Amino acid sequence: MAHDHDHSHGTGNVSDGVLLWTVIVNLGLSVFEFAAGIFAGSVALMADALHNTNDAAALGIAYIARKISRKGADAEYTFGYRRAELIGAMIQLTALIVVGLYLVYEAVKRMINPEPLLGEWMMIAAGVALVVDIATAWLLWSMSKGSLNVKAAFLHNLTDAAASLAVLAGGAAITWLEWKWVDPVLTLGIAGYILWMSVGMLRRTSGILMEGSPPDFPFNELREAVESLDDVVGLHHLHVWELDEDHRALEAHIVIDDIPPDTRATLRKKVKVLLHDDFQISHSTLEFETEAHGCDVQDCGHSHA
């Protein structure tokens, strides 16, 4: 059985006001951390600021996309405006990868030629970031209890808090132990995590925009489930794609026995319910045909799914 995965940072049940405030607070934190990083000479602080900017941008995109998606479908965009979030995500992720690679370059350069660092400023800025990260996690969690998506968002914010805690510990090591190598090492760790996450999300986003099938979609199970229904002979010209992260669509030709119109209508409804309940396919276009009056493989564009 297929399962949907929500990548909206668990914002589905959070009010617009709370979501907007989390965006503003996280952006403010990012600006503060980046400025403190420049002042303290810490690339790790600037890397953590980028990490928080990523979260603020993701929440901001979710907020804007929610507003846009409420417009619904129209004559120009018959599937609606859901993919607005994906376009924003592509821009954001591409920028993140570029900046992440720059941070790697800076970290390696600092390892070769260490620069003066103000460990106390690193500790202060990272401490503020840690408080904000925990507060953001608590705010989202308390507003939407019982949602698995929000639990995922809560865990994501805990990773932010862990990054801030690491920078805080790094500041302490620099201040009291004079371990200047800690800053570039932390930077490499945070930048590596950002690049790993960004590349993975970029591949996922590109796949949806290219109308690829959902990851690990059980085509064989779907085919067997439909073909096991009474009066169904076979299934071909099968296409499954994602409209966005949460909505799937299907197009297929179903070969059936020569049955009366009312039985055909009942079978169509049965197939649609099966697709919706067992495979989370919200939009399906089905063409019924008999073996005697079906399309040739070349004519109907048979897929190899």
Q: Which amino acid is at 7?
A: H
Handedness of CA 147, 148, 149, 152 (dihedral sign): positive
Element (H, E) at 108: helix 84-112
CATH class of 16-209: mainly alpha
pLDDT (tens digit per residue) in 263-288: 999 999 999 999 999 999 989 999 99
Comparing 86-95, 173-182, 233-242, the range with the smallest average pLDDT is: 86-95
What single-letter amino acid sits at 52?
N
- Residue ranges per domain, the chain? 16-209, 219-300
The third-level CATH classification (topology) of the domain covering 219-300 is Alpha-Beta Plaits (3.30.70)
Q: How far apart are CA 128 and CA 33, in angstroms?
A: 9
Identify the H or E element spanning 242.
strand 232-242
Within a 10 A sphere around the Cβ of 111, how many other Cβ atoms?
Answer: 15
Q: Are 25 and 132 in contact (CB under 8 A)?
A: yes
In whole angstroms, give the CA distance from residue 4 to residue 246: 6
What is the rounded CA–CA span in Å between residue 187 and residue 47?
6
pLDDT of residue 113: 80
Residues 235 and 253 sit within 8 Å (Cβ to Cβ): yes
Q: Rounded to the nearest 5°, which phi and psi values hold at 284?
A: -130, 135
Instruction: State the pairing for strand pair 232-242/248-256.
Output: antiparallel
Strands 232-242 and 281-290: unpaired
- CB-based contact 240:213 (threshold 8 Å): yes
As a whole number of angstroms, the longest Cα–Cα distance in the chain is 84
Q: Note the pLDDT tens digit of each residue in 199-244.
A: 888 888 888 888 889 989 999 999 999 999 999 999 999 999 988 7
Task: Say yes or no to pLDDT of 151 above 60.
Answer: no
Say how many C-beta atoms besides its own lie within 10 A of residue 269's C-beta.
10
> Do the domains 16-209 and 219-300 sit in the same CATH topology, yes or no?
no
Greater confidence (177 vs 7) lies with 177
Cα separation of 46 and 231, whole Å?
A: 63
Structural element, H or E, at residue 172: helix 148-177
